Structure 1
Amino acid sequence: MRPAIDIRSLRVDYGDFVAVDDLTLTVPPGEVFGLVGPNGAGKTSTFRVITTLMEPTYGEVILDGVDVFEDLETARRIIGYMPDLAPVPSDLKVQEFLEFHAAAYGLGNRAQRRDRVAECLEEVALTDQRDKWCKQLSRGQTQRVVLAKTLLHRPRVLVLDEPASGLDPLARRDLRSALRRLAATGATVFISSHILSELAEMCTSLCVMNRGKLLASGTAEEVRHQLGTNERILTANLLCKPGEAREWLASHASVHDLQVEGHQIVFGFKGDDDAQADLMEGLIRLGVRLRSFEEKRSSFEDILVEVAENNRRS
C-alpha cells in the first residue's frame, strides 16, 4: 500500500535561516499522525509546503502517489487543509456557509451539494446546528464547522494546524472522535498541536521535530524510547520496615534520589522494563513484602519541555 504522505529530503530556507533541514517522513493511509515540537521546530513551514502554499528550497512531497510540485491541481484535490483559527463569516448560517464552499468545489448540482453538506455535518456531529448563524457558534462548534468544510470534497489527506487550540475538554473529545472516525474510513490526518497530552491520546503515531530536524517518529512509546527518556519515578509501598530495602536499592547504579516516607520508598530509576522487573524480583527475593509498586513515567509533555530546554542551553 503506497504512503498517504511521503516527504523526501525536504529543506526550507528563509535566507540564511534553515527552517526545515532534510526532513524525510512517511505516513501510511488511515493514520492520525501528529507533528509536535517547540516553537521554531519547523512545523508550520512543513505544513505550508505539504498544502502547496509555498515551495521548498528542495525536496519532494508525494501525496497518495501524486507529486505535489509536478501536478499541483491534482494534489490540491487530495488535500483538505484546516488552518489554525480559520475564520467563518458572521452573516451566514452554517448550512449556507457549507453550501457556498460545496459550490466552489464544484460538487454536483444543488441537491447533491445539500446532501454532501448534510453528510459532513453528521460526520462532525453538528446536524442540529445547520440553521444557526455562524456568529452564534461556540469556539468548539466553529472548529467543527470548519472541519466539515474541509471534508466536503472528500480529501484523502487532511492537514490540520492546531485544531484543538482553545477548545474546552468536551469540544476536544468531540473533535478527537471525529478524527478517529475519519481515519477509520481510510483518510489520513496529519495534525499539529501544542496540547501534547491530547496529541498522545488522539494520534496513532507521531513525530518530534526540533530546529528543522526530525528527532523521532513512531508511537508515543516508541518516540519516548528513541529520545532516550527511560527515566521514571518508582514508588514501593511496603508492609515492612524500609531499612533493608532502602540499603539494597541504594546500592544500584540505576537508582537515584531515593527518599523514604514511613513505609514508602520513592526513587528515580533509569532503565528499561526488563530492568524494572529485575528490580522488583530482587526486592521480593530479599524478603521485602511489597503492598504495591507504582510507576510514573515521563509524560510526552515532559519530553517536549526537555527538548525546548536543550534548545535554550545550546
Structure 2
Amino acid sequence: MNSESVPPIPAVHTVGLSRTYGSMVALNSLDLTVNRGDLFGFIGSNGAGKTTTLRILATFLAPSAGQAKVLGHDVVKDADAVRHVIGYMPDFFGVYKDMEVTEYLDFFGACYKIPSAQREKTVNDVLELVGLSEKKGALIGALSRGMQQRLGLARVLIHDPQVLLLDEPASGLDPRARIEMMAILQELQRLGKTIIISSHILSELQTLCNRVAIIERGKLIYAGPVQGVRDQMSAGLVVWVKVASDNSKAIELLKGHSEVAEALAVDGRIKVTMVNHDVDHGFVADTLVRGGLKLTGLQEDELGLEEVFLRVTRGETQ
C-alpha cells in the first residue's frame, strides 16, 4: 500500500466521548479532531465540559463512554504511552514555594527519568524558552503570578511533549503577563508543538488560534477555523454606512437591493445586513451615490469571537 495514501494520524481524536457523574452529563458524545501543529482554542462557559475533556485526554479521568486517542494512543488502553507524549497544565497547579526554580524543574525531570547528566541542559533550555533564565536561582514563592504560570509551563515542557493540554493558562494574569504567555505559545507552535488551550479570554484566542471549538453543556457546537465560526454562526455580513444627510432615503434605496436583508438607522449611522457572508458589499456605495446621496463612511462589521460566542450559546452550565 502506498504510504502517501495513508492519512496522517491526528494529534487528538475523540469519538462519542462522554462522561457522566450520576445523573449529570458533563460531556455528551464529543466528536473532536485536532490536527498536528494546531494551536487549538477550546471555548466554553464554566461547567461546559472543557476541563473534563482535557482531564480525559491527560488520562486523569476515565470516560464513561466513547473513545479518545492522542497521537494514535488510546487514553484508556495505552495511558502510559499517552503520558509520554503530552504535557498537561491544569487551571490550578501546586508549586513548592520554598524550592528554587532549578530545583523544582530538576525534580520533575527526575520524575520523567531524564538522566542526571542531561537534566541541567534540559532545565536551562526550558527556562530560556519561557523567558525565566534570569530567575533560575530564585525561590518560587518570590515569583510573580505571571512568572509562576511560566514556570508551570516550563514544567510541562521538561520531557519535550508533542501535545500540550493547557487549561486556562492565562487565568488571573495581568495584561502584560497574558501577552507574554501568548507569545510563548506562538513560539511553541512554531517549534512544532500541537497546543490545545481552553480559555474564557476569547479576544486573545481570536488572534492566537488557527482553529477553535465551542462547547456548551457538554455538547460540541462548532469546530473549525476561527473565520468559519463567524461565518457559520452569524446571520449575514454587516456593513455600517454614514451619509451626509437623508438617512431615510438611503435606507429606502438599500432596502430595494436584492442582496440586502435589512437596513435601519442606528445612532446616526445605517446598519446594513446582507443576505449572507459571501456578498461583495461594493454595491452599497454605488447605490447611494447613484441615488444622489453623499457617502461619508462605509465600514464592514468585524464580528468578534466574543460576540459570536454570546450569540450561539445560552450561557447554560451544568
User: Structure 2 length as normaliser, TM-score?
Assistant: 0.89
Cα drift, residue 239 of structure 1: 4.8
Instruction: Please tell me whether residue 45 in structure 1 is matched to residue 52 in structure 2.
Output: yes
Deviations 1:160-188 (A, max 9, x none): 00001111121111111111111112211
- For structure 2, the residue ranges without an aligned partner over 5 or more in a row are 1-7
SS of 1:208 mapped into structure 2: strand
Q: 1:226 aligns with which of 232, 255, 263?
A: 232
Instruction: Please tell me whether residue 211 in structure 1 is matched to residue 217 in structure 2.
Output: yes
Deviations 1:240-285 (A, max 9, x none): 6545323313556622442463xxx332525324153443443344
Q: Does the aligned pair in 1 maintain the 2:164–2:196 contact within 8 Å?
A: yes
Q: 1:276 aligns with which of 281, 290, 297?
A: 281
Correspondence for 2:296: 291
Correspondence for 2:254: 249
Percentage of matched positions with identical amino acids:
36
Deviations 1:109-168 (A, max 9, x none): 2x3101000000111111111111111111111100000000000111100000011111
Q: Root-mean-square deviation (CA), in Å?
A: 2.1
Correspondence for 2:106: 99
Q: 1:311 to 1:135 in 2, by over 3 A?
A: closer
SS of 2:113 mapped into structure 1: coil
Aligned length: 307
Deviations 1:200-243 (A, max 9, x none): 121111110111111111122101222234363x3323356545
Q: 1:171 aligns with which of 141, 160, 177?
A: 177
Q: 1:82 aligns with which of 67, 81, 89?
A: 89
| Partner Cα distance (1:228, 1:154) in 2 | 40
- For structure 1, the residue ranges without an aligned partner over 5 or more in a row are none
Correspondence for 1:58: 65
Q: Which moved more, 1:292-301 or 1:242-251?
A: 242-251
SS of 1:297 mapped into structure 2: coil
AA of the residue aligned to 2:98: D
Q: Does the aligned pair in 2 maintain the 1:8–1:59 contact within 8 Å?
A: yes
Cα drift, residue 28 of structure 1: 0.9
Cα drift, residue 108 of structure 1: 1.2
SS of 1:258 mapped into structure 2: strand
SS of 1:272 mapped into structure 2: coil
Instruction: Please tell me whether residue 266 in structure 1 is matched to residue 273 in structure 2.
Output: no
Correspondence for 1:191: 197
User: Structure 1 length as normaliser, TM-score?
Assistant: 0.90
Q: Does the aligned pair in 1 maintain the 2:100–2:136 contact within 8 Å?
A: yes
Deviations 1:13-32 (A, max 9, x none): 11122221111111111111
| Partner Cα distance (2:232, 2:266) in 1 | 29
| Partner Cα distance (2:176, 2:315) in 1 | 34
SS of 2:279 mapped into structure 1: helix
Correspondence for 1:115: 121
